[in-house]
Amino acid sequence: MAEYVRVEVADQIATIRLDRPKMNALNAQVQLEIAEAARQVDADPGVGAVVIYGGERVFAAGADIKEMAVMSYADMSGHSRTLQDCFTEVARVGKPVIAAITGYALGGGCELALCADFRVAGESAKLGQPEIQLGIIPGAGGTQRLPRLIGPSRAKDLIYSGRHVSAAEALAIGLVDRVVPDAEVHQAALDWAATFTGGPAIALRAAKQAVDRGLEVDLDTGLEIERLQFSGLFATEDAKNGMTAFAEKSTPSFTGR
């Protein structure tokens, strides 16, 4: 049983809850537990959407620097692959994923939030990639996912300077999608997640894969990914139900088949 990361499911929404006092530092154990939680919610047919939440005070303040400080190049050259793979498990969850950000989301915490499809932040949240201030660079996807989200110039500004950005600035540059009062962050994420439950799960997975994989390739290859996902959905019961309901002007009933 995981020590620092737990999965709570209610109303088809899974909350991946980080709980490592005091700041949810992402040490190696937490990274592995996050990956296992991601695999669990991805495989659960009763889960239609996912929220990642660090609690009322902090999302995740970053990697465990004390743990990293004693690691050699040889140590980190091996561990860095595990670190990236653990976060990629979150990015590859085939369901809508929303990061509910309170307090700090710095370094690895920001990189974890980048693995979600959407980000809801509290008004006092702070986000950033401060690794440069330690003489290193982001190693859990920050140099790759951040520029894909906000553009290379803005990403370089955050990565080169290591500065923290407020929730308001994060919203303005597209780093987060919504800003709400601090006390409402988790509920706002749950409410957003609820809009995806009961929907066509196979189509949602296909849409996510088409967008995410398409961003990694040239346009022609991306269009082929889309074509294959699109045509494949015509073999599903959901597509038949959806189009029949449209023709009959009734409400579709999706089963995830």
Q: Tell me what pLDDT residue 79 has.
A: 87
Which one is catalytic: 56, 111, 216, 237? 111
Q: How many CB atoms lie within 10 A of CB 7?
A: 18
Alpha-carbon distance of 124 to 122, in angstroms, equals 6
Where in the chain do CATH 3.90.226.10 domains reside? 5-194
CATH 3.90.226.10 at 5-194, yes or no:
yes
**pLDDT of the residue at 151:** 97
Q: How confident is the model at residue 62 (pLDDT cuts 50, 70, 90)?
A: confident
pTM, two decimal places: 0.94
CATH superfamily of 201-248: Lyase 2-enoyl-coa Hydratase, Chain  A, domain 2 (1.10.12.10)
- Taking residues 40-68, report their average pLDDT: 93
pLDDT at 50 over 90: yes
Give the confidence band of 250 by pLDDT, cuts at 50, 70, 90: very high
pLDDT the model gives residue 32 = 96
Q: What is the mean pLDDT of residues 185-199?
A: 97
Judge whether 111 counts as a catalytic residue: yes
59: Cβ–Cβ under 8 A, 6 or more apart, which residues? Answer: 18, 24, 53, 99, 100, 101, 102, 103, 104, 105, 109, 112, 113, 125
The verdict on whether omega for the bond into residue 95 sits within 30 degrees of 0, i.e. cis, is: no
Which conformational region is residue 11 in: left (phi greater than 0), alpha (psi within -120 to 50 degrees), or beta? left
Q: What's the pLDDT score for residue 36?
A: 97
Residue 67: band (very low, low, confident or very high) from pLDDT cuts 50, 70, 90: confident
The helix (H) or strand (E) run that includes residue 166 is: strand 164-166
Of 122, 241, 233, 238, give the one whose Cα is nearest residue 170: 122
From-to residues of CATH 1.10.12.10 in the chain = 201-248
Q: Catalytic: which of 8, 131, 184, 248? A: 131
Helices and strands in the chain: count of H runs, count of E runs: 11, 9
Q: Residue 100 and residue 171: Cα distance in Å, rounded?
A: 14
Q: How many CA atoms lie within 13 A of 222 on its CB side?
A: 12
Within 13 Å of residue 61, how many CA atoms lie on the same side as its CB?
A: 12
